[in-house]
Structure 1
């Protein structure tokens, strides 16, 4: 059993901030060469922030809502990694909180485009290469709302439910090729995406009362599970949704 992933090559989406940035830090520290794709201009600051003198972090700006841009970004990332991809982490995500009756169809489509369609297409692109190699790890970012209905987040919760079903389906198809496909379900995390919830005087105490661990999660809590799913130690784990939620789904 090995937890060593030093020398592996990974593509991480949404790595400029929040959970994604924590994953970049964790995998970089573990000795992984990483191509990071994000639409934010902050992406260009990553190499200097990590003092990446060995040039193990490749920052690529790309719009994953545009399929042509997505495919170009993937091919560029693959080239930067020398034509090999061992790990894909689909972390880029979008939420637009609000009542379903007041939400726009454009918002629905954007959320599904990033959370589901980009995950599907990037997974297919990565799996084609991983199949040639005979091994690979795909880690999708689900949510506790992959299981729960949520509140004022109909499009987001539905998209994350789709991510869970996609994870299961792809794992069934690709396990025979040595590719494991799993998902992580973060709970209530201290991230920019949840700023509105943390500042809500009504919702915040309701949420905190529901968390058995009595605290919000941190991006670092998620990184440990991602490292496990990327390592040889998890080679017989596939099609799973692993909660990192302080016990919310068990309650």
Structure 2
């Protein structure tokens, strides 16, 4: 493997990686040579995912903590750094979705979406970046969305949270680039996941999506791995503050 795209001797923390896209990213980064740290909200979930990677011959660790709680985040990062080793790459992947019309959206659901999708990115990034600054190197990847720049019915809070992730990415770049830290984002289009299963099962929506997307199909979650590898490796050392859309061309089509 080219040194530009190698993650050998690199340690990566992926939040929300016990299952779904987070787990696939962990597996893909491990295949590129990374030692990965699986985060989930439960110890059982984190351990199960880490064990799956270990069985495949990868080096993986489990670290369960609530990404929305500053005390838990700070304690976990200290534990990782002291017991496992320095975090070279952070992938802020944890996210949730709630669908309701804007005028009927419950405040509690709003608070939960903002806490997981936005506040957690701030909390985990801040804790990890402090360590990276002391080493004068590191990479942070924030998982955004098509809704980082586009709105859609019934998911206004989600779009607001992902729009904030875009500006967090840019602001962190401005402040951290001088410390040789690259902060970038990945904005997936429509991928078939647990979160979008109801939409994928809706024939009318899928029909609209395939007509709206130049690639004329849903994305497969595995197709996000290449972008994550690129932004995690030496290949992206002068890429900073960028939001990489992986969307089959949907954002640029009229």
Say whether the fold is shared (TM-score over 0.5).
yes
Whole-angstrom CA distance in 2 between matches of 1:196 and 1:54: 34
2:244 to 233, 242, 245: 242
Distance 1:54 1:194, change over 3 A: closer
Residue aligning to 1:142? 144
1:66 to 69, 90, 99: 69
Gaps of 5+ in 2: none
Residue aligning to 1:232? 234
Is the 1:35–1:80 Cα contact (8 Å) retained in structure 2?
no
Whole-angstrom CA distance in 2 between matches of 1:80 and 1:208: 47
Tell me the alpha carbon deviations over residues 163-197 of structure 1, each in whole angstroms, 9 at most, x when there is no partner: 00110000000001000000000000011010121
* Residue 241 of structure 1: how far off its partner (Å): 0.4
Residue aligning to 1:156? 158
Is the 1:91–1:141 Cα contact (8 Å) retained in structure 2?
yes
Whole-angstrom CA distance in 2 between matches of 1:63 and 1:87: 19
Whole-angstrom CA distance in 2 between matches of 1:148 and 1:93: 17
Secondary structure of 1:51's match? helix
Distance 1:154 1:206, change over 3 A: same
Runs of 4+ in 1 over 6 A off after TM superposition: none
* Residue 53 of structure 1: how far off its partner (Å): 8.1
* Residue 203 of structure 1: how far off its partner (Å): 2.2
Whole-angstrom CA distance in 2 between matches of 1:36 and 1:85: 12
Is the 1:95–1:193 Cα contact (8 Å) retained in structure 2?
yes
**Does residue 83 of structure 2 align to residue 88 of structure 1?**
no
Structure-to-structure mapping, 1:20-169, within 5 angstroms? 20-40=22-42, 41-52=44-55, 56-82=59-85, 84-169=86-171
- The number of equivalent residue pairs is 250
* Residue 250 of structure 1: how far off its partner (Å): 1.1
Tell me the alpha carbon deviations over residues 70-121 of structure 1, each in whole angstroms, 9 at most, x when there is no partner: 2222222323422x11100000001101211121111111111111111011
Gaps of 5+ in 1: none
Is the 1:12–1:36 Cα contact (8 Å) retained in structure 2?
yes
Secondary structure of 1:2's match? helix
Is the 2:4–2:234 Cα contact (8 Å) retained in structure 1?
yes
Is the 1:34–1:81 Cα contact (8 Å) retained in structure 2?
no
Distance 1:211 1:54, change over 3 A: closer
What TM-score, normalized to structure 1? 0.94
**What value does the CA root-mean-square deviation take over the aligned residues?**
1.6
Distance 1:43 1:178, change over 3 A: same
